Structure 1
Amino acid sequence: MNDLAPPVPVVDPKRPPTAVLWTGRVLSVLVTLLFLMSAVGKFFVSPQMEEGVEKLGIPMDIMVPLGILEATIALIYFVPQTAVLGAILLTGYMGGTIITHWRVGDNFVFNIIIGVVVWLGIFLRDRRLWDLLPWRRV
């Protein structure tokens, strides 16, 4: 009997490894900041923004409500208890941005990447999502 042996650390199977968890948190914070900056930009309209919005065929009078919507969804995504709902809502929002840019012939690859990073951030933070993907285990 060795009473001096160090205790065996208990690993929580529902918690991702620390590095994975922090990577997910950082990605989620970056996504949240990106959407909040975009939302704030909709409150302060510049001539360049007016030109871009006109090119996309979006009426200027919906910029403030769109900014409020974007900020609200970003905050829902940021809160851990509502993050999955936020990811779903951000996915829908990004779908709208993709089709809007695609319709006028703009490049929309960046919008797809943002959508992937939205889910990657939450996937790395919440191990329960790992079981939802049909990946084979070796």
Structure 2
Amino acid sequence: MPSRIRAGSVSKGRLWSGRIISGLMVLFLLFDGITKLMRVAPVLEASAQLGYPVSTLVGIGIIALVCTAVYVIPQTSVLGAILLTGYLGGAVASNVRIGNPMFNTLFPIIFAALVWVGIFLREGRLGALIPLRT
């Protein structure tokens, strides 16, 4: 028996706040993925510091761009947020593994939270699934 979650109405302010936050996250993720594909020098250095061979950068860049594309499409945006959470979780694990400073470890966590805040603000049905008490 399928259950239906009612779409909650979202105010214009909330919708646009979510779009702006999501848009900023998408811009950063596009930059991240494209710089990996282009193999720019700072990305090569950072990847070497994290212990990733240069040969893995194109694959990681493609994964970042595919996850971002899934997040951008409204019908698949929740799946995209889940995939991006996994991608950013890998960044956390990489930073913890080599003992990077706390900021380097917290940045992907904060970023993943903002990915979810953006979609939560623009998607009324998430409010029914994850009710926040005031």
TM over 0.5: yes
Q: Looking at secondary structure, tell me which structure has more helix per residue.
A: 2
List alignment gaps of at least 5 residues for structure 2.
1-6
Q: How does 1:1-138 map to 2 (within 5 A)?
A: 14-106=8-100, 107-136=104-133
List alignment gaps of at least 5 residues for structure 1.
1-12
Please give the per-residue CA displacement for 1:85-130, whole angstroms capped at 9, x wherever unaligned: 0000000001101010111111211111100000000000011111
> Quick one: percent identity of the two aligned structures?
40
Pair 16,64 (structure 1): closer, same or farther in 2 beyond 3 Å: same
Question: Bigger radius of gyration, 1 or 2?
Answer: 1
Quote the Cα distance in structure 2 between the aligned partners of 1:19 and 1:47: 40
Quote the Cα distance in structure 2 between the aligned partners of 1:48 and 1:57: 14
Q: How many residues were matched structurally?
A: 125
Quote the Cα distance in structure 2 between the aligned partners of 1:46 and 1:69: 17
- Structure 1 runs (4+) deviating above 3 angstroms are 134-137
Deviation at residue 131 of structure 1 after TM alignment:
1.3
Quote the Cα distance in structure 2 between the aligned partners of 1:135 and 1:33: 28
Deviation at residue 51 of structure 1 after TM alignment:
2.0
* Contact 2:36/2:57, CA 8 A, preserved across alignment: yes
